Amino acid sequence: MGKEVNGVSRSRFEMFTNSDEAVINKKLPKELLLRIFSFLDVVTLCRCAQVSRSWNVLALDGSNWQRIDLFDFQRDIEGRVVENISKRCGGFLRKLSLRGCLGVGDSALRTFAQNCRNIELLSLNGCTKITDSTCNSLSKFCPKLKHLDLASCTSITNLSLKALSEGCPLLEQLNISWCDQVTKDGIQALVRSCPGLKCLFLKGCTQLEDEALKHIGAHCPELVTLNLQTCSQITDEGLITICRGCHRLQSLCVSGCANITDAILHALGQNCPRLRILEVARCSQLTDVGFTTLARNCHELEKMDLEECVQITDGTLIQLSIHCPRLQVLSLSHCELITDDGIRHLGSGPCAHDRLEVIELDNCPLITDASLEHLKSCHSLDRIELYDCQQITRAGIKRLRTHLPNIKVHAYFAPVTPPPSVGGSRQRFCRCCVLL
């Protein structure tokens, strides 16, 4: 091999001879052409590879294949494609997304792991053929792995987490949502060996109990994001341990965890001042008392999903309007005690003029056109949801649009309440809805 120039050997440049008459090949140094090619996507690189012999060399150079997303080709991707890519890219590859590639299995990913040992980000979301064998391969060959997405890989068990704990100590982000075979034993092994975990997505891991959360709270001081949606067995006890051990927490989702109470909101307020996102939909035991503590201590809140927190009243909105100036997205759907007065406080609060972008008020029966008047000064408001708000009128919406002409208003006008849609209360967009 000759002397390397920006990762390409001089012998490879010798392929560019005077017989290649393209002006661009004559005028630009090959190093610069390679640099230009590095900005192209997968499709464009493949097309360029067919232009000429010289461009084929440049387009297929491993340095151009450091980040690959095959989502657009997911139906056509088979194991051999992944194997070929891994051999082409080798140690250059840093990021690979195979999200939704149903044809990719353990064998192809073993070849991939053996060839691409510098991989840092790997998405296997929805690759339902893979099993614990894939995680064993990653553990054995990919010690630099930082981000791993295994969501909906339902064959994954505790054995995968134990393997990752042994071979991937740099892991920062792990998504095992809907891997419902995982229990506290797998979580314990993982967090004890991966202290740098920052993001953990456990949505739909229905076997997890408070004991698993205690391990996370004890071993993950760097945790920033935690998603426990529909982990229905968890209670205040486990979540309080999270709050006390993870002071850097910025995003928490416990929607569908019906056992939690105001004790969680108090613990968040006392321990997690950096909290920006809180999703507690369908947590019907939460009240104004808990949200008052939260609002008075967590001033960086930007997004809150309070859908079906049926006990909250205007008191919560008053506290948010006073103490949470950064609020951008607020869902109050099915909070049937909210009235125009609460919206009035929200519309006059510090977040209203420049921050508030989305407010969802579906099925809030006490809301009237007066609420729309209170929101007309919210210049950043991009979308408002008003399905089944029986006291909202077309005239009220029209007046709102005179102040906010670009706002998206989703509403339903019918003489009776529309039947509930399949899939639960959170599905808002039915065939009957009117985009005003």
**3-class state of residue 375 by DSSP:** coil
**d(C-alpha 229, C-alpha 277), whole Å:** 14
**d(C-alpha 266, C-alpha 275), whole Å:** 13
Residue type, 262: D
**d(C-alpha 89, C-alpha 100), whole Å:** 21
- Per-residue pLDDT, 316: 98
Whole-number Cα distances in Å, 38 to 119, 120, 144, 406: 18, 19, 23, 39
Per-residue pLDDT tens, the chain, 436 aa: give them: 344 444 444 444 444 444 455 777 767 777 887 788 878 777 787 778 778 887 887 777 777 778 888 877 766 788 998 998 898 888 999 999 999 999 999 999 999 999 999 999 999 999 999 999 999 999 999 999 999 999 999 999 999 999 999 999 999 999 999 999 999 999 999 999 999 999 999 999 999 999 999 999 999 999 999 999 999 999 999 999 999 999 999 999 999 999 999 999 999 999 999 999 999 999 999 999 999 999 999 999 999 999 999 999 999 999 999 999 999 999 999 999 999 999 999 999 999 888 999 999 999 999 999 999 999 999 999 999 999 999 999 999 999 999 999 999 999 876 555 555 544 444 443 333 333 3
- Per-residue pLDDT, 433: 33
Phi and psi dihedrals of 121, rounded to 5? Answer: -130, 125
Nearest 10 degrees: Cα torsion 40, 41, 46, 48: -20
What is the DSSP track for 198-224? -EEE-TT-TT--HHHHHHHHHH-TT--
Token representation of residue 259: 């056992």
35 Cβ contact list (under 8 Å, min separation 6): 6
Whole-number Cα distances in Å, 170 to 115, 120, 195: 19, 9, 8
**3-class state of residue 289 by DSSP:** helix
- Per-residue pLDDT, 375: 97
**d(C-alpha 407, C-alpha 84), whole Å:** 48
- Per-residue pLDDT, 430: 36
- Per-residue pLDDT, 32: 82
Q: Give yes or no for a contact between 326 and 299, defined as CB atoms under 8 angstroms apart.
A: yes
**d(C-alpha 288, C-alpha 282), whole Å:** 15
Whole-number Cα distances in Å, 188 to 164, 194, 211, 257: 12, 10, 9, 21
H or E segment at 30? helix 30-37
**3-class state of residue 279 by DSSP:** strand
Residue type, 343: I
**d(C-alpha 245, C-alpha 197), whole Å:** 13
Q: Is 131 exposed, middle or buried (0-12, 13-18, 19+ CB in 10 A)?
A: middle
**d(C-alpha 275, C-alpha 125), whole Å:** 27
CB atoms within 10 A of CB 252: 24
What is the DSSP track for 166-179? HH-TT--EEE-TT-
- Per-residue pLDDT, 40: 79
**d(C-alpha 230, C-alpha 99), whole Å:** 23
- Per-residue pLDDT, 418: 53
- Per-residue pLDDT, 414: 60
Token representation of residue 92: 């250059």
- Per-residue pLDDT, 416: 53
Nearest to 432 by CA among 420, 416, 418: 418
Q: Is 333 exposed, middle or buried (0-12, 13-18, 19+ CB in 10 A)?
A: buried
CB atoms within 10 A of CB 144: 12
Task: Kindly list the structural domains of the chain, giving each domain's residue range(s) and its CATH number in brackets, ordered by start.
Answer: 24-64 (1.20.1280), 268-413 (3.80.10.10)
Per DSSP, the chain holds a count of helices (H) and strands (E) of 18, 17
Q: What is the pTM of this model?
A: 0.86
Nearest to 81 by CA among 58, 57, 108, 110: 108
Nearest 10 degrees: Cα torsion 99, 105, 110, 111: -90
**d(C-alpha 430, C-alpha 412), whole Å:** 10
95: left (phi over 0), alpha (psi -120 to 50) or beta: beta
Residues paired with 279 in a beta bridge: 253, 305
- Per-residue pLDDT, 21: 57
Q: Give yes or no for a contact between 213 and 242, defined as CB atoms under 8 angstroms apart.
A: yes
